[in-house]
Structure 1
């Protein structure tokens, strides 16, 4: 009660000192960090009226000051010059050119400094180095991919064979392709007027005249009067001491509540940023330009290319209206909508309007892994062995995240090359969660269909990748090890360059996984035709990991965490797995390996009960 009386006394007499509370007082995220004041505002501390639209910043876990530019691009603020209206930003990912295709300053209050020397640029990915094109963009390039920025007005004069156009970037200065810092300016609000006077900038009501007013830095009263209404110094001193005591007492009682409120607000803000957007069907038609560009088609429906803006492309999957899509649609939205991992495709939004169901994903320009490993001409679009190893490791980390990195364990049940998409850097991303199932991490097994022994047609997955226990419980119980089996088949396909189910193959031939195990088991060198020793080592390691993952009984397969460790380690230390195949009468004789062209027929597993 005494605290409340002191607080009431403070409320009554504090205005008599000629002082006003100021919610917009300047602050910093950490000592030495940039000063945050109008037109900027700190999200967790300043109310919205303290800052100008587009100038909101927040403090991250490192206490860096972060500014988010359209569309959702995050930069660390290094310096703010309020007099010259300049801001210096730093890309925490240390690859500014990677963000440029998604930077849209036209809807931002910021602009580049020299607006007279900006260019429209085309970003090219070349498989060989082109010295005459200028400096290579090092943070995007590696030993087999070289990225260059070329002026759109003159790029037709260059020899661009072995190069692919990746992005068109409008209105940027050249320095951004060699820098880690981004220098931007703003025109409004013109707070430099106040700064030059030694005053602070404060925003007025936008509906009346100028949007700003200048206030004295010492006296926070916008009226600017420095004279207290009560001249008695003694009374003022008593009131100040009383105020201090009241604040000290109140601080202890409200600190916990304040911290909880900030946590809740930050959670809600983060959730709104990560939650997939719900589109109307008219939005979908607009995004896809009336479904004008088809990317692919399957049993699930049709995928179209779309645009959220001039620079942001998306893949729009329009599901068929067949029975069962409702359940798979809810599964996919509910599952992938909560996942955020570099090796899992990002769900941008969805549409559920009447019988129409649509999923909107990030657009990945290099299509699926299937395009690169299943082709007649292996010299065209082929991937190097180190790149294949990186892709295999990325897929493994993505599956491991699904199994152990989420609140609930996510079983995919359809791991195959067609469901592995590749971005412009060939980073793999797992997609298509229509068959996925959520379960507790402590749950050792999961039922994936009603009437388990009734029919095999209800089993989840694609023939050739389905684990034996999914088809018949004779082989064990269905669990996360079923995804491990599918991943193992995928690895062997990456090594062999052929599907593991070939309906046109001669059934008298031994399937590739069994053929390669038989030859490895007797110590034969299967990779003698691969020129580089490092490439041979990679091929051997990926093959042995694949054979471990396709063990017939689930308990014999490694977890995805162990599979990741095996792919990251030295392949020479890997032990040969047990024979993963049941006894057959098939002969192990087969033609020698030619490059990566192998036969991959896998016999159908029949229900035994």
Structure 2
């Protein structure tokens, strides 16, 4: 009987110690997680503060080179709390707005994930120095942390995209008008490449990014923000990067100007299924087709 009582007492003590130890470990773990989380948040906050300081310093240095800066509350007022949505693009939603002087504007609210602050401000300062009839005019911007917007002149006829396709079997624009639009786009690109002080390359020319005014004069838009020459939706790992590089190289071989340089489909299949190290960069294209 005594041994039984001693066993129960010892067992109870052990269980008690185990429970107490477990509770202590949980408390310590919770304290550690809380401390780590606090330090992590503090580090992120400090980085954000430093980033904001750099942006403000940039704005002070380039005060006379950047367009007018608006507060986010101003953006909400000019768009009537984002009531009239004009469209949606890869960079964000576009809303119709009106400035205090009555001028109509197009306000693009940028996605939070697009571009860091310094890239954004560099783009703003570069584009604001462009001035051409075939380039959409940037009138202002908003930069309040992750709240970023670009304010452009309002182009009433919208994008070329909705005009170039046939509707009910009838072409919406005459060939004469399409020709004038094409010439205007070329003039705008030539200006970006050679005419403005900061030469700009537009890597996304398409009907959606060509805006038309009242007289159907084309204006190039959407040349802003940290996209570079890369495909969308690609996971940044070595396998995906290799696949992308392989497809690009094979594609460049297939569109060679000289037909003799284009591989047959059997060779295309070999290149696609083979090792990327065996692929070579195709020759530079000729300015004209060979005889």
Is the pair's TM-score, using the shorter chain for normalization, greater than 0.5? Answer: yes
| Structure 1 unmatched ranges of 5 or more | 1-270, 438-446, 460-467, 477-550, 557-577, 586-605
- State the match for 2:68 in structure 1: 277
Residues 379 and 351 of structure 1: CA distance in aligned 2, closer, same or farther (over 3 Å): same
> Which structure 2 residues correspond to residues 427-446 of structure 1 after superposition, within 5 A?
427-435=217-225
- State the match for 2:176 in structure 1: 386
- State the match for 1:419 in structure 2: 209
In structure 1, distance between residues paired with 2:166 and 2:103: 30
> Which structure 2 residues correspond to residues 529-548 of structure 1 after superposition, within 5 A?
none
In structure 2, distance between residues paired with 1:332 and 1:284: 20
* Residue 399 of structure 1 pairs with residue 189 of structure 2: yes
SS of 1:285 mapped into structure 2:
helix
Post-superposition Cα deviations, 1:414-451, rounded to whole Å, max 9, x if no partner, equal 111111111111111111123579xxxxxxxxx957x9
- State the match for 2:81 in structure 1: 290
1:372 aligned residue (150, 163, 169): 163
In structure 2, distance between residues paired with 1:580 and 1:309: 63
2:121 aligned residue (330, 342, 363): 330
SS of 2:191 mapped into structure 1:
helix
| Structure 2 unmatched ranges of 5 or more | 1-62, 231-235, 266-271, 280-291
Post-superposition Cα deviations, 1:347-403, rounded to whole Å, max 9, x if no partner, equal 0000001210000000000111111113553527x1100110000001011111111
The structure with the greater share of residues assigned to helix is: 2
> How far did residue 329 of structure 1 move?
3.0
Residues 289 and 432 of structure 1: CA distance in aligned 2, closer, same or farther (over 3 Å): same
> How far did residue 581 of structure 1 move?
9.9
Structure with the bigger RCO (C-alpha within 8 Å, sep 6+) is: 2
In structure 2, distance between residues paired with 1:580 and 1:372: 39
Aligned-residue CA RMSD (Å): 3.9
Aligned residues: 201
> How far did residue 472 of structure 1 move?
4.1
- State the match for 1:39 in structure 2: none
> How far did residue 332 of structure 1 move?
3.4
Q: Is the 8 A contact 1:331 1:433 kept in 2?
A: no
2:93 aligned residue (290, 296, 302): 302
The structure with the greater share of residues assigned to strand is: 1
Q: TM-score, normalised by structure 2?
A: 0.57
Q: Is the 8 A contact 1:306 1:313 kept in 2?
A: yes
- State the match for 2:146 in structure 1: 355
Q: Is the 8 A contact 1:391 1:427 kept in 2?
A: yes
Q: TM-score, normalised by structure 1?
A: 0.29
Post-superposition Cα deviations, 1:549-587, rounded to whole Å, max 9, x if no partner, equal xx946xx7xxxxxxxxxxxxxxxxxxxxx66994667xx
In structure 2, distance between residues paired with 1:455 and 1:335: 33
Q: Is the 8 A contact 1:335 1:433 kept in 2?
A: no
> How far did residue 410 of structure 1 move?
1.4
